[in-house]
């Protein structure tokens, strides 16, 4: 028998998924069987697989001990560096200035070093994250940047913050601004561009259309020219929709590719990577709401000077 008191970071999950994540030696088919046989209970009452766990719930499991073995994790995140370029941090969130060249999540080529693993290592050393104490939740990223794009990435330290931020991101209540240097001089110095985008997963490339097509999604990109030099334009860009490679593809589509972007523009002898930086984040929540992260409403964070230094290289 095993008794588990549900913590805040584990609340909100389905019972069956929580048990499967917690005990990898416990087959899902047996989990369902034991729920039906009342060998798995919540607060000493019959449970169902879809039940959403709540903080302080008491989960009791009456099965053989070998099914409840916690397989030790090999914490790969400890192999990643722990040094971060912090923009902001509190008990719920952390904002990090990601360098160009660093991936945000591990992939098949880079198993250990990624931004999320660096954040986990950083919080582990601060004793704010211990995988042994968390049966399922781990610090998670709210937004992503391409490997060769620099700038601000938001991470949540707990499940409640992650849930709220994901919702706000979907509602476009978190505004994201970018700085970029693009080829050419704009006739119209500011505006909102609308087009349609589709992604080719196999090629990791997107395609733009000026008219609606099947499987193409609407994109909206707001831009403002800040200054012009040597036939190029430095622009501030706000994403009104958030699609893969949206800025790079949209700028190239209108004839102003991002400098250094070899995928949608052309190779540059001056820049090894695209000159694109997520330089500002603004939290613009509804004033009527009252939730854990309400204190962020109206706050703005930026790394403008560091982005401009990148453009001067």
On whether the CB atoms of residues 280 and 131 are closer than 8 A, the answer is no
215 as an active site residue: the answer is no
Instruction: Tell me the pLDDT tens digit for each residue of 260-292.
Output: 999 999 887 788 889 999 999 999 998 777 889
Say how far apart CA 13 and CA 51 lie, in whole Å.
Answer: 8
* The two structure tokens encoding residue 262: 């070899």
Q: Mean pLDDT over residues 5-14, rounded?
A: 84
Q: Mean pLDDT over residues 120-131, rounded?
A: 90
Q: Is the pLDDT score of 142 beyond 90?
A: yes
Sheet holding 58-61, edge to edge: 2-5, 58-61, 40-42, 45-46
Ordered by where they begin, the domains of the chain are 2-68 (3.10.290.10), 76-170 (3.30.2350.10), 177-274 (3.30.2350.10)
Of 10, 16, 57, 146, which residue is the catalytic one? 146
Spell out the SS3 assignment of 160-210.
Answer: HHHHHHHHHHHCCCEEEEEEEEEECCCCCCEEEEEEEEEEECCCCEEEEEC
Instruction: Give the lowest-confidence range in 18-22, 266-270, 274-278, 307-311.
Output: 307-311
What pLDDT is recorded for position 110?
Answer: 66
DSSP state of 56: T
Global pTM reads 0.76
């Amino acid at each position: 028998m095993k008794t588990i008191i549900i913590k805040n970071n584990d609340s909100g999950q389905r019972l069956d998924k929580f048990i499967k994540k917690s005990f990898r030696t416990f087959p899902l088919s047996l989990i369902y069987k034991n729920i039906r046989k009342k060998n798995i209970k919540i607060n000493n009452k019959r449970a169902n697989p879809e039940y959403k766990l709540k903080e302080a719930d008491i989960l009791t499991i009456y099965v053989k001990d070998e099914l409840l073995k916690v397989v030790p994790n090999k914490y790969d995140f400890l192999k990643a560096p722990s040094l971060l370029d912090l923009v902001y941090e509190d008990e719920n969130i952390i904002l990090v200035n990601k360098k160009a060249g660093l991936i945000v999540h591990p992939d098949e080529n880079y198993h250990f070093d990624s931004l999320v693993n660096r954040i986990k290592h950083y919080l582990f050393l601060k004793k704010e994250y211990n995988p042994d104490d968390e049966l399922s939740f781990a610090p998670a990223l709210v937004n992503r940047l391409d490997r060769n794009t620099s700038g601000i990435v938001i991470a949540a330290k707990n499940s409640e913050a992650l849930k709220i931020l994901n919702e706000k991101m979907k509602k476009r209540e978190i505004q994201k601004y970018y700085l970029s240097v693009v080829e050419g001089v704009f006739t119209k110095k500011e505006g909102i561009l609308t087009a349609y985008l589709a992604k080719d997963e196999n090629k990791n490339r997107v395609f733009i259309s000026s008219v609606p097509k099947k499987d193409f999604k609407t994109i909206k990109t707001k831009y403002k020219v800040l200054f012009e030099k040597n036939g190029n334009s430095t622009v501030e860009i706000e994403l009104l929709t958030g699609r893969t490679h949206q800025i790079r593809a949209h700028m190239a589509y209108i004839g102003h590719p991002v400098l250094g972007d070899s995928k949608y523009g052309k190779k540059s002898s001056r820049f090894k990577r695209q000159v694109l930086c997520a330089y500002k984040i603004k939290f613009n929540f509804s004033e009527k709401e009252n939730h854990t992260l309400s204190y962020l409403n109206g706050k703005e964070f930026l790394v403008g000077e560091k982005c401009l230094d990148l453009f001067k290289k």
